[in-house]
């Protein structure tokens, strides 16, 4: 049922695409970063962490925006003993 509703209301408008693309571009413009740099950053951060503790699940490294300010959001689930 939820999937059905999601499909009906899925927003594939060009306005949504413009917003999605702008979110990414402006975040990188403001922080002086790029998608490529984020990938490198993610790999290196994971490498350092995994040298000391075991990682489990899907780690995330991304830039989040709040107003005109950006922050690096790092979410790395660790394996329990």
Partner 1 sequence: MGKKTEGSSVIVVTSGKGGVGKTTTVANVASALARKGYKIAVMDLDIGLKKLDLILGLENRVIYDIIQVIEGECTLKQALVKDKRFPELYMLPAAQTRNKDDIKPEQVQEICRQLRPEFDFIFIDCPAGIEQGFRNAIAAADKAIVVTNPEVSAVRDADRIIGMLESAQFQDIQLVINRLQASMVRSGDMLSIDDLMEHLCISLLGIVPEDKKVLISTNKGEPIVLNEHSEAGLAFNNIANRLLGQQVDFPSFEEDSLWGKIRNLGRNLFSKQ
Residues making contact with partner 1 (CB under 8 A)? 2, 5-6, 8-11, 13-16, 18-19, 21-23, 25-26, 29-30, 67-68
Supply the minimum distance, in Å, between the C-beta of residue 11 and partner 1: 5
CB closer to partner 1, 15 vs 81: 15
Supply the minimum distance, in Å, between the C-beta of residue 28 and partner 1: 10
Residues in a beta bridge with 60:
75
């Amino acid at each position: 049922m939820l999937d059905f509703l999601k499909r009906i209301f899925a927003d594939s408008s060009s306005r949504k695409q413009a917003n999605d693309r702008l979110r990414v571009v402006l975040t990188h413009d403001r922080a002086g970063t790029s998608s490529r740099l984020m990938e490198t950053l993610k790999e290196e951060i994971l490498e350092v962490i995994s040298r000391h503790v075991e990682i489990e699940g899907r780690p995330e490294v991304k830039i989040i925006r709040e107003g005109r300010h950006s922050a690096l959001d790092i979410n790395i689930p660790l394996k329990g003993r």
